[in-house]
A and B are shown apart, each in its own frame.
Chain A
Amino acid sequence: MTAPPLLEVADLRLHFPLGGGFAFGRRGTVKAVDGVDFRLEAGRTLGLVGESGCGKSTLGRAVVGLETPTSGSVTLGGRNLAARSRAERDADRRRMQMIFQDPFSSLNPRMTVGQTLAEPIRLHGLREGPGVAARVRELLGLVDLPEGARDRYPHEFSGGQRQRIGIARALACEPELVVCDEPVSALDVSIQAQIMRLLKRLQDELGVAYLFIGHELGVVRQVSDEIAVMYLGQIVERGAGRTLFREARHAYTRALISAAPIPDPRLERLRRRIILKGDPPSPIDPPSGCPFAGRCPVAIPRCHAERPPLERFGPDHAVACWRAGETPELLPILAQGAPARDGTSG
C-alpha cells in the first residue's frame, strides 16, 4: 500500500446560503466550491488559478479550517479532519498555515514582529525559555529580515517586508502545508519576484507543501509543480505546471491563456485573443451543465445539458470539457506562423 498523500480533498462543497433576501426576490445559495477533488504530496506545490469569485480563496480557507465545508472531506496525512476530536483538530491546525493577500491587514498592528513570531512558538511549546528568542531570530533570518525587525511594529515596514513577516509567522508553526492566498498580488513587480524566490527557497530548505492561489498565470506557473484551473467553484482542468499552459484543452483555460498578456511586444502582435462573450455568470445557483457553457465560444448543446467530468487526458493532465479533443484546432492561441518559443529568453 502506498502512503497517503499529505493533503487529499474529496468532493468538497461549500455553499453559502444567501441571507437577507430583501434585495432580490428569491433566496439562493452561493455555490462557492462545488465538488472539488485533488491531492497534494508533501513538499510539492499545487497552483490554483481562476477568475475573481470562482472560489479559490474559499477552497483554501476550507482546507485550513477557516470555513466549514458543506460536504466532502479534507484529509491531512490520511486523517480526515472533520471526523476527529476537537483536541486533535487543534493540534492539526498547526500543521496547516496560511499566507494572506493583503500585507496590511494580515498583521496585528498592536504587536511587535517579535511578539507575532513568538506567539505560535509558545502556544505550541515548540521551544522553551531562551529557545523562543533564538527561534525568532532564526525565522527572521529565514525570510531575510534583519534582527532589528523584532522590536518594530508592522506599520514601520513596506508591503513586501510585511509579507515576509507573514511568511515567518506561518513558518513559526513548523507547518507541513501552507496555503498561499495570492501572496504577491498586492506587491510591485520587483518585490513580487523577491517573495516568489523566497517561497521557493523555503520549500527547498524546509520541505513544506504549498497550495498556491493566484490569478496571474506567470506567477502560478513559476511556483507550481501542478496547476488546477477553477471556474465557478469547480476544477475544470489540471495539469503539470511546466506544460499545462502550452497544452491546455479546456476552452476556458485557452481563453484565459489567450487573454493573459505577455511582456513581449513582438509576441503580443502575433497573438490572437479569444474574446469571451459576456460576464462571468454568478455562482448563485450556477448552470447545471458545464459551468463555462454560457460564455464558451465553441459550446455544443451537450455542454448546456450535461456537466463534463474531469477526465484524464494523457499523463498528468485532466480536463472537464466535452470538446477537449478538438479545442487546439478550434481555439488557436498563437497566430499561424508564430514561432513556438520554448526555452529561455535571449
Chain B
Amino acid sequence: MSALLSIRDLEVTFATEAGPLPAVQGVSLDVAPGETLAIVGESGSGKSVTMLSLLGLLPAGAARARQVVFDGQDITALDEARLRGLRGREIGIVFQDPMTSLNPVLTVGRQLTEMFELHQGLSRGAARAAAVETLSLVGMPSPKERMATYPHQLSGGMRQRAMIAIAVACRPKLLIADEPTTALDVTIQAQILDLIARIQEELGMGVIMISHDLGVVAGVADRIAVMYAGRIVEIGPIDAVFDAPRMPYTSGLLASVPRYDLDADMPRSIPGTPPDPLARPSGCAFRPRCAEARAACAASPPPALRPAGPPPHEAACILVGEERERT
C-alpha cells in the first residue's frame, strides 16, 4: 500500500553560537493511512524537530531531506503559501501546551470558524454550524455555549480538546500530536487519548503520536519508532518492539519504566546521560552508555534502517546483524 507520508533521509542542523547542532540525522519513516505511528525518545532526541520540519516551521535552511512525500505531493517542492494550506487543512497539529498554540485573544469559536472559512471557504453561518459540530465531536460539553469562551477560561483538559477540535476541523489526513497529554493528569490523559483514537477511527486519519511515555504509546500505537540522539534507532510494529527489542537502548528504556501492576524489582537504569548534541561520540551515539558496546561500535555509524517494506522490525545496531548470522 502506498504511504500517506514518506520521509527519506531527513537532516536538520541548527546554526548555533557554539557551532552547527545536528538535531536530526538521517531519519526515514513511512506512515500509512489510518495508522498510528508513535515516536518515542528522551528529551532532545529530535522528536519535535522531525515533525516541525515537515510543516515548514523551522528556521530557513535548517532542514534538508532527500524526499518528503505527503499524499502524493512532494513537500520539499512546495512554497510557503502551499505549505500553509497543507498545514491545518490536510495535516492537523496538536502540541503539548495548548496555551502556546491557541490564540489567547480570540474565542474558541472564532478560532474554529476561521479554520472553515480559511481552508474550506464556508460562509459564516455554515462555518459556525461546522464549528459547533466539531466541538461536540471532541466531547466538549455544551458546545454551543463554549464557542464564546476564551482559552484561559477552560481547564487544561478542555483546552486540549479545543486544540484537537481545531486540528481535526478540516478532517485532515494526518494528525501530528506532539506530547498531547504530557501536561495533563492521567484521568484526563485517558479521556484525550480515547478521543484521538475515536476521531481517528471516524475520520480514518493517520496519526503520528510523539511521546516520551512508553505506557501511552503502548496503548495507542500500531508502530513505534525509537529516537536517540537525532536518529531513529529502532522501528517496528508495537508488539514486536515491546516483546523483543533489538537495540540495547530500546530494551534499556523499556526496563527503566517502573511498573505499578507488577511485583517487579526496581526498574533497571541506563547509566550516564544522553550525549551533548554538539559533541556526540563517533559511531553509535549510544555506545558510551551501552553495556554491549564493542570496538566496532565506535568505528562507524550503525547500519541505516530500511524504513519500508519487509522486514518491518528494524534496529540500527550491529548486534542485529550478528544475531541474524547466529540464527
Residues of A within 8 A of B (CB): 51-52, 158, 160-161, 188-194, 196-197, 200, 215-222, 242, 245-246, 255-268, 271, 273, 275-276, 278-280, 341-345
Contact residues in B for A258 (Cβ distance below 8 Å)? 190
In the complex the two chains form, is B265's CB within 8 Å of A193's CB?
no
- Known A-B contacts A193-B258, A221-B260, A265-B218; A259 and B269 likewise in contact (beta carbons under 8 Å): no
In the complex the two chains form, is B259's CB within 8 Å of A262's CB?
yes
In the complex the two chains form, is B257's CB within 8 Å of A189's CB?
yes
Which of A190, A217, A221, A345 has a CB less than 8 Å from the CB of B269?
Answer: A190
Interface size on B, residues (CB 8 A): 48
- Which residue on B lies nearest to A221, using beta carbons? B260
- Which residue on B lies nearest to A343, using beta carbons? B263
In the complex the two chains form, is B269's CB within 8 Å of A197's CB?
yes
In the complex the two chains form, is B267's CB within 8 Å of A193's CB?
yes
Contact residues in B for A220 (Cβ distance below 8 Å)? 260
In the complex the two chains form, is B266's CB within 8 Å of A263's CB?
no
Which of B158, B194, B253, B265 has a CB less than 8 Å from the CB of A190?
Answer: B253
- Known A-B contacts A279-B155, A344-B265; A190 and B260 likewise in contact (beta carbons under 8 Å): no
Nearest CB of chain B from residue A112's CB, rounded to whole Å: 20
Sorted nearest first, the 5 A-B pairs with minimum C-beta distance are: A261-B215, A193-B269, A218-B258, A259-B190, A193-B256
- Known A-B contacts A261-B218, A263-B215, A263-B242; A193 and B259 likewise in contact (beta carbons under 8 Å): no
Nearest CB of chain A from residue B139's CB, rounded to whole Å: 10
In the complex the two chains form, is B254's CB within 8 Å of A190's CB?
no
Q: For chain B residues 273-288, which have a beta carbon within 8 Å of chain A? A: 273-274
Contact residues in B for A219 (Cβ distance below 8 Å)? 258
Q: For chain B residues 129-166, which have a beta carbon within 8 Å of chain A? A: 141, 155, 157-158
In the complex the two chains form, is B185's CB within 8 Å of A280's CB?
yes
User: What's the Cα separation between A258 and B218 when bound, in Å?
Assistant: 14
B66: Cβ under 8 A from any A Cβ: no
User: What's the Cα separation between A222 and B273 when bound, in Å?
Assistant: 22
Which of A51, A158, A217, A345 has a CB less than 8 Å from the CB of B260?
Answer: A217
In the complex the two chains form, is A264's CB within 8 Å of B43's CB?
no
In the complex the two chains form, is B158's CB within 8 Å of A279's CB?
yes
Nearest CB of chain B from residue A237's CB, rounded to whole Å: 14
- A189, A220, A221, A275 — most chain B CB neighbours (10 Å): A189
